Structure 1
Amino acid sequence: MVKPVEQGGSWGVSVVEDPADLPAAVAAATRFETAEPHGLPLDSRVLLQIYVPGPEYSTETVVADGVAYALPVVAKDTTAGRHRVETGHTCPAELSPELTLAVQHTAARAALAVGVRNGVAHTELKIPPGTGRPVVIETGARLPGDNICELVEAATGIDEAEAYLRAVTGRPPRTRPTRHRAAAIRFLLPEHAGTLAEVVVPEVPGTRSELYLRPGDTVPEPADSSARVGHVAARAATAAQARRLAALAVHGTRLKVT
């Protein structure tokens, strides 16, 4: 894996299988000089990691006075190939109780290891096939993006932002679920770069959609999260049902880029 040391949204991230492709991957990772839309300068160095196979998950850890509180585990979907763009998330992740605890415990250790004592950490992990052992891909002292806070609250009733604020203001965070349902989000990605000509999302009961771009807008190459045209979010009794509803809406979407 080749990635910028400072960036997000899968920008500049590449999976390199042939050494001959390494120079192009490094060039892609160093092309970002500022973080948009804030304009903050970025470190131009590049991080190389051993590729870890297997499904990917994320979870938040709220830390109050050095005590870690685990939040629900979310399953992550990504594209395959050279670029691994996140295409959706589902809460709960439908792992076994034992593996759920393993993911949460590993994420909590990562948060404490990087020095979080009063705050929150978003940790992304993968579980290599046949191991049952989570591997930390990255952890950051921040709340998650991609509407994950909304997914977690819809599925469990846990308000991650409130838990974060309680931790940094000296109060015990509320991390116990108050409901047991499920939620999923799927992002609308184009097949190629160009100009958005049409996008129509069907109305599927149990879902809602949001568009980020309008016809006439420029659509980037689908190599990172900036190419998203919009998203579909679904709520249901189970994770499988939420995924199915979101998939119905995505598969029925007319998305044309010229």
Structure 2
Amino acid sequence: MRNRTILIVDDEPRSREGMKKMLASWASGAYELLTADNGFTALSIVEETAVDLMITDIRMPEINGLSLVAQMKDKRLARQPSVILISGHAEFEYAQQAIQLSVVNYLLKPVSREKLIAAVEDAIKAGEERDRIGLMRKMADPQLMAVAGGEANLSDPVKSAMQYVDEHMGEAVSLKEVADHIHLNGSYFSTLFKEQSGMTFSEYVVRRKLQKAKEMLVKTNLPIAEIAERVGYQTAKYFNKLFKEYETMSPGQYRTEMNKADTEIQK
């Protein structure tokens, strides 16, 4: 597991090394501290290294801090760092641009040790929360998300059918069973469900079961065979086949990948 990385960008040596020294005593080796004396070097570093937090001065020659952040966001980086901007001048225009660039904090020089460390801790927490949200989005099925987003447009029978699927997650739910439950003709219910959800009822059931399985793969240490049973599949072999078809990887690979990502967030 890698250490988290903080990049300090400032063209003034005393300021740059001063911040590094303050953070070094606070970090106690838990963070790798990198420095750059200009924006070009900083861009090279974030392209080659997974930087968690960048602290940059605004007023620098050639590429100023605001331009550096804007250029960094335009790049397809493996990781977009959280950003703290530092300025020697309280200029409202800087603060406005910082907000537009989603900068997490804006500090004025001279920066005290207490304010710097407080800002760094807040920025790291914000980055972790952003990563957790990203992880949840990665876990979420986009088609189920689309259905949930348009829930207000779903009819009561379709909502009842979806609720029935959730309440019988550990069972093999059939279209006829659900149609009977909501007192609709099977053919009519099938057409209604597809019109409103954008997928067949059977596809919805599979996606909903696999979504539940993904949550258990990440949040529990249950064996894959037991997870398959808990979402209504009697054989792990068939569950594995369906999972790979929808997620392009096996349940075991998915668990490994997602747990690795979660460990990086918590580290």
Name the TM-score, length of structure 2 as normaliser.
0.24
More helix by share: 2
Q: Which has the larger radius of gyration?
A: 2
Name the TM-score, length of structure 1 as normaliser.
0.24
Q: Larger relative CO (CA 8 A, sep 6+): 1 or 2?
A: 1
